[in-house]
Amino acid sequence: MAVALLAVGGANSADALAPAGAPDTSLAGTAAALGLNAQEKLVVRDVVRDADGTVHTRYDRTYGGLPVLGGDLVVHRAKDGALRGVTKATERSVAVGSLTPKLAPGRAASAAVEAAVAADVEKPTTAGKDQAPRKVIWAAGGAPVLAYETVVGGVQEGGTPSRLHVITDATTGKKLYEYQAIDNVADDTSQYSGTVDLVDTRGGSGYQLVDSTRGGHRTVDLGGRTSGSGTLFTDADGVWGDGKPTNRQTAAVDAAHGFAKTHDFYKSVLGRDGIRNNGTAPTSHVHYGVKHANAYYDDPTYSIYYGDGRDGKSPLTQLDVAGHEFSHGVTAATARLVYSGESGGLNEATSDILGTAIEFHAGNTADKGDYFLGEKINYFGDGKPLRYMDTPSRDGESADYWDSGTRNLDVHHSSGVANHFFYLLSEGSGSKVINGVRHESRSKDGSTVTGIGRDKAVKIWYKALTSYFTSTTTYAGARQGTLQAAVSLYGAGSAEVAAVGKAWTAVNVK
């Protein structure tokens, strides 16, 4: 698209367009000042104010009520409202002979699907929300024409979703333009997960870190503040982060990637449509506070907040930590385990268990799955993980086994009993190497426990959480709830039910 700036003082000076007397900054006044015809209307999309009072207002344009693609413009006004310049996507006048198409919408949809097939989109479809052909004015490629815009869904190479926008001439049926709104190149660089492929959204003059394929998840920069809505991450070319914490986008890449992998895990493994099971997505906030060494989920605002760590260079955005925090949202939407006593320990353990399962499911070679939480964020400054699930007491404070004092521990430490149970149920007792990392676990009574595999173990825990746990569930109740879940999933008398009982006994919950 051509971009033209009308320089002040030239033959096309915006000052020459300004009306006499006090500036009229209304929509109608601005349209008149720009010489738009009666069928053209302006719609404000964004406003940016400079420190000196200059205001840059971005407008979309309609013609006869139809959106004009390639008709957007930015009007620049001085502090007193005087028109100083305009940046246009097209210099051509917007006018078409008729708003009645000769081409039927169905033919435009078929042509768009053909274009998608040619672009190697698998399972192309125009049946989704906001995908059917809509009438537009296409002004980005020469003389404006009446056209259809069709969005083709489906799957790109490598499993990335498709949102292929196809512009078709509504008179001739000719394809005028196409673009893929979802980047399919793994060119976004995180601090912990290496190079990843984020879904972003075209907006303004570039891209916004909004994942329209996963409930509209937004990643915003709090800029060291501890309140406020923050600033949505934007980028000119949609290539996010560089892997270094000095680049503010890098933490955003980890946060957005963490949500994407969490959402995909819940949907594909557990059949859950997002954190609240309603398709909506929370917002991720990075750079919370100054050298803030924590991350947390806030249910009332439906948000995740990530600090940058004690050194300001180690944001708590590693994948299993992200999965942990988002999973607090799942608990809040289901059992609502009270965050104190034994139920509080089960609440924390639920997030550790699901965060760990999410890390394994992601299959990321830069952050391979293990049963340690936050091992890459160097929380303590000594390279050690936040928590160990194979032998929780390795952190010096968490409980390996239940006893009568468990309810009096901090919930991050009483969670060790359930974390240990989950490890034993998944992997069994003894020593083993998992993804190159040595793990060690022993039962309280010295018995040998044989694991049933992580996939089955996580489904049992999730079933118990969503069907049998309540706000006040204790460890005894968790044993009963997971046994009921195993019966529900695998049948009474199954090996899985027996394994659940043995794993709980191994951590002294009888």
Identify the pLDDT of residue 179: 80
Tell me how far apart the alpha carbons of residues 131 and 411 are, in angstroms, rounded to a whole number: 47
The pLDDT tens digits of the residues spanning 200-224 come to 988 767 899 999 999 999 999 999 9
Phi, psi of 71 (to 5 degrees): -105, 5
- For residues 158 and 392, the model is more confident at 392
pLDDT top residue among 369 and 206: 369
Say which of 40, 325, 375, 496 is annotated catalytic: 325
In this predicted model, which residue has the larger pLDDT, 202 or 37?
37
| pLDDT tier at 15, thresholds 50, 70, 90 | very low
All domains of the chain in start order, with CATH: 4-88 (3.10.450.490), 105-180 (3.10.450.40), 196-333 (3.10.170.10), 337-510 (1.10.390.10)
As a whole number, the mean pLDDT across the chain is 90
Report residue 372's pLDDT band, with 50, 70 and 90 as the boundaries. very high
- Closest by Cα among 38, 434, 394, 345 to 386: 394
Q: For residue range 415-471, list pLDDT tens digits in order.
A: 999 999 999 999 999 999 999 999 999 999 999 999 999 999 999 999 999 999 998
Q: Which residues contact 150 (CB under 8 A, 6 or more apart)?
A: 108, 109, 111, 112, 126, 131, 132, 133, 134, 165, 166, 168
Alpha-carbon gap, residue 380 to 378, rounded angstroms: 6
Q: Is the pLDDT of residue 194 over 60?
A: yes
Return the pLDDT at 159: 64
Is 412 catalytic? The answer is yes
End-to-end CA distance of the chain, in Å? 70
CA angle 73, 79, 83 (to 5 degrees): 40
Give residue 376's pLDDT: 94
Mean per-residue pLDDT, 490-496: 96
361 in catalytic set: no
Helix (H, G, I), strand (E, B), or coil: what is residue 29?
helix
Catalytic pick from 165, 217, 292, 412?
A: 412
pTM over 0.75: no
Query: What is the C-alpha separation between 480 and 500, in angstroms, rounded?
Result: 10
DSSP reduced 3-state for 85: strand
Query: Which residue type occupies 298?
Result: D
pLDDT score of 483 more than 90: yes
